[in-house]
Amino acid sequence: METLEGGELCFPQLLNSSCRKPMRPHSETVLLHILLSSLTLLTVALNLLVIISISHFRKLHTPTNFLLLSLAISDLLVGLLMPIYGVQILGDCWFLGDSLCAVFFFLNFIIIAASVGNMVLISIDRYVAICDPLHYPTKVTQRRVQISVCICWFCSFFYNSLVLKDFLNQPDKYNSCYGECVLVIDYIAGAVDLILTFIGPITAIIVLYMRVFVVAVSQARAMSSHIVSVPSQNTVTVTSKKSERKAARTLGVVIVVFLICFCPYYYPSLAGQDTLSSASSMAIVIWFLFCNSCLNPVIYAFFYPWFRKTVKLIASLQILQPDSCKANII
């Protein structure tokens, strides 16, 4: 009877080995269902809009947009996995078996690493575009970007295959009862993963964006200093100041959102603890990752005027018309 006091059994037929379901108020369960469903639909819809826009319209087939496309694909995959995350968050019981437990965590790690890699590639792209604009067309070509994206995804797959090798071979190794899906990464592996997939990339992103910000401010001030004799000096000065504020705001949004959403995921490694991944221990982490995948298309695509135009064309079904892919939306 003690087994039943903490909640119903996940597998009643396995009285001595089954995990127990958590006891939650009905109102809380309904609220979580609504929140998860809304976030799932929003994440999938926003990233689908980005993918359709860049894939369909030829004017958007640029190196930078191909990077945004790769990022949107990784975020779309997160959105598609959200219902499985919801099974863990809401039910705290894993009914899909040990093999799918291993596949689930493996895909999760690949998507996270690829998303971080895409952000680094986007930072490099913006760095070259702002700091070396004359050589940008020759240094950053569509072919090089496509190869870089493929390498990013392959490295993510290969790296996580090594990190999760033992777990993939024995996914139930750390399960304390039947109906549980748990992954434990020891301190050494967690430290290596922390450096390669968080500290290293975020350092690169901050350094590159800070350099972009400094160059953008210097260019704005240089333009302002060269129009002293022009009557519209005040207008240009105001415009340059607005550009500085916009550059600072965009930089802050990119870095702060990334840190807020990913720090909880890497907190155990930062604190020197073993990384334990289970339904209950990763609930908050999962919600933050959800928010990051939902906000990425807002940060990287909604700021572009062409995106608003493509959304209108998609919503009105004008993309179904002949030669709609040739539309001049830029």
In this model, does residue 88 exceed pLDDT 50? yes
Question: What is the CA angle 255-261-263, rounded to 5?
Answer: 90
Least Cα distance to 36 among 296, 278, 287, 284 occurs for: 287
In this model, does residue 137 exceed pLDDT 80? yes
3-state secondary structure of 97: helix
In this model, does residue 251 exceed pLDDT 60? no
pTM of the model: 0.81
Query: How many whole angstroms separate alpha carbon 176 and alpha carbon 49?
Result: 42
What's 154's DSSP letter?
Answer: H
pLDDT category of residue 51 using cuts at 50, 70 and 90: very high
In this model, does residue 192 exceed pLDDT 90? no
In this model, does residue 156 exceed pLDDT 90? yes
Note the pLDDT of residue 132. 83
Helix then strand then coil, in percent of the chain rounded to 5, is 75, 5, 25
Note the pLDDT of residue 226. 60
Could you give the domains of the chain?
A: 2-326 (1.20.1070.10)
Tell me which amino acid residue 23 is: M
Note the pLDDT of residue 278. 47
Least confident of 9-13, 37-41, 91-95, 290-294: 91-95
Note the pLDDT of residue 157. 94
Mean pLDDT of the chain: 77
Note the pLDDT of residue 273. 53
pLDDT category of residue 280 using cuts at 50, 70 and 90: very low
% residues pLDDT > 90 (the chain): 12
pLDDT category of residue 158 using cuts at 50, 70 and 90: very high
In this model, does residue 244 exceed pLDDT 60? no
In this model, does residue 269 exceed pLDDT 70? no
| Residue 57: both structure tokens together | 């319209």
In this model, does residue 111 exceed pLDDT 60? yes
Note the pLDDT of residue 282. 57
Strand-pairing partners, residue 20, are: 9
% residues pLDDT > 70 (the chain): 77
